[in-house]
Amino acid sequence: MSKQIQIKCINNSTYKNYDRGITLNEIAKDQNIELRSEILGALVNNRLEKLPYEIFHPKTIEFIDITHPDGMRMYIRSLSFLLYYAIENLFPKTKLRVEHSVSKGVYCELEGEEEITIEEIAQVAEFMRNLVKQDIPFVFHEKETEEVIKLFKEFEFEDKADLLKSRGQNYSSYYQLNDTIASFYGYLVPSTGYLKVFDVNKYYNGILLQIPKRFEPENVEELIIQNKMFEIFQEYSNWNKVLQVTNINNLNALHQNNKAENLIKVSEAFHEKKIGHIADMIDERKDKVKIILISGPSSSGKTTFSKRLAIQLMVAGLKPQTLSLDNYFVDREDTPLDENGEYDFEALEALDIEQFNQDLNLLLKGEEVELPKFSFETGRRYYDGTKTTLEKDHILVIEGIHGLNPALTHSIPNSFKFKIYASALTSINIDDHNRIPTTDNRLIRRIVRDYRYRNYSAADTISRWQSVRRGEDKHIFPYQEEADVMFNTALLYEFAVLKHYAEPILLEVAHNKPEFAEATRLLYFFSYFKPILDKNIPPTSIIREFLGGSSFSY
């Protein structure tokens, strides 16, 4: 009789002995694990594994479904392969490129076809649904890297082959669906039959792959048109193509050829030009515009952007004056509570909106206003005699998560306001089939900044991230399209620079921490980048807000 091992299952708080070599799938069936939707994988000692994974030693396991971030990533990767397979079979002369997230889905383009039609997209959707009905397995292969590189070249995956070469690992993996292969930087779901909820629609000149709602996985996310968001993505995507830096392999090649310094200079110059253009737009409307409202999600570099915009406004002859929303918090006992009974400082109701609007209107009339202050120690607002007035060439700059919410400045005419949305909209991909989520860009920035300036470990930051994301979904993202202009704070070179700072911090996350799975995923992501030193990054760069060495005070 074979030696048995003890398995602790977090989902039902049980310990049970099994024969060595049992799979996660067999354990799930034996324990009758039921989640919100189908089980997609499991965290084994806080490391993500696929369901066929065999266990030979005592482990702690937690089964996950699509409501878990890792489960959602598995689902989206698998849908991307399903779409790629459909395109390969229906339009063999075209090439699918997964571009970026937008409108609560994933935007993809076809190279080699002028513009896909609605009828052709209907064909694609039908083909994909037939694959789901057939319940075909996604077969995982792991082989010597040289063999995988050779296979990728046979399939004309030059970008994937070159990326494997630069990583320098002994073994590499890929997935197979029938006679088609593809590589993904993480696991897929077990088979096509798991992908019952999705849709595909025509979106601009390409395809929008619509995904399930995370907490209502039986329903597809609604199609929300985001014209401004799409346009800013496309602008940067086109600029990347001009620079010939569209994926990690292109970035690594610049490092290898000692051309990274030039990329830094060009990227920073592009930012400066865009900020100058926004200042010119405001200057053209200076007879009316008196308030600039800036919003964006966490770790977007809004603070540095605001300071650089202020400089460009001064160049245009305007006098920017900041007004802090933090000073308009209601007293602590009046702060609304969240679903857990905790103070919800991110709720709009946590601010004294009426007092804020009253002060704004007085300032716009040219009157002197005594501005409030807020003590975070006592949880109370107070006045210390600080007064201000808005003179002829002055313009108010207000930064905050509610900046684009019309309710924040409900009594101010729209013609008086200029609204800016700033976020790190990652514009390079891993390769043609694997995008880099913009949320990863911001999370990595935040991990580095929190560690360097707030004494938070990577585990601390990762543990708070889902709560931060929920706040953004509620308070920021619904108002993106209210912006007069969007600014992309992402820099083409930044992941290669962040690698040097982030890797040691992520390596500190202990194996027994729930955050170890996310730290491992991010370390795996960084393994594909060649590092770029930060010595040539100017002190005014947005990335300096996270790395240090900025010439601005925060």
- Alpha carbon distance 405, 481 (integer Å): 10
Closest CA to 215 of 37, 464, 463, 75: 37
Collapse the DSSP code of 209 into the 3-class scheme (helix H, G, I; strand E, B; otherwise coil) and give the result: strand
Per-residue pLDDT tens over the stretch 27-51: 999 999 999 999 999 999 999 999 9
Q: What's the distance, CA 16 to chain centroid? A: 38
Q: Which residues, 6+ apart, have CB-to-CB distance to 65 below 8 Å?
A: 35, 36, 37, 38, 39, 40, 71, 217
pTM of the prediction?
Answer: 0.93
Fold classification of 4-65 (topology level):
Ubiquitin-like (UB roll) (3.10.20)
Closest CA to 427 of 231, 257, 296, 254: 231
CA angle 546, 549, 552 (to 5 degrees): 85
Listed by start position, the domains of the chain span 4-65, 70-225, 229-277+417-547
- Alpha carbon distance 533, 470 (integer Å): 34
Sites in the chain below the pLDDT cut of 70: 1-2, 113
Closest CA to 69 of 193, 187, 214, 189: 214
316's tokens: 């245009």
Q: Where are the alpha helices (DSSP H) in 366-456?
A: 438-453
Alpha carbon of 553 to those of 271, 307, 488: distances in Å? Answer: 20, 9, 22
E runs forming strands in 10-89: 14-19, 22-23, 41-44, 47-50, 54-55, 59-64
Instruction: Look at strands 4-9 and 14-19 and give their pairing.
Output: antiparallel
Question: What's residue 1's pLDDT?
Answer: 47
Question: What's residue 406's pLDDT?
Answer: 96
Tell me 333's DSSP state.
Answer: G
55's tokens: 């266990």
Question: What's residue 443's pLDDT?
Answer: 98
A 10 A CB-CB count for 459 gives 20
Q: What's the distance, CA 140 to chain centroid? A: 27
CA angle 246, 516, 533 (to 5 degrees): 40
Quick one: CATH architecture of 70-225? 2-Layer Sandwich (3.30)
Burial 462-476 (b: 16+ CB within 10 A, else e): beebeebbebbeebb
519's tokens: 């730290």
Alpha carbon of 38 to those of 25, 29, 61, 238, 409: distances in Å? Answer: 12, 12, 16, 39, 44
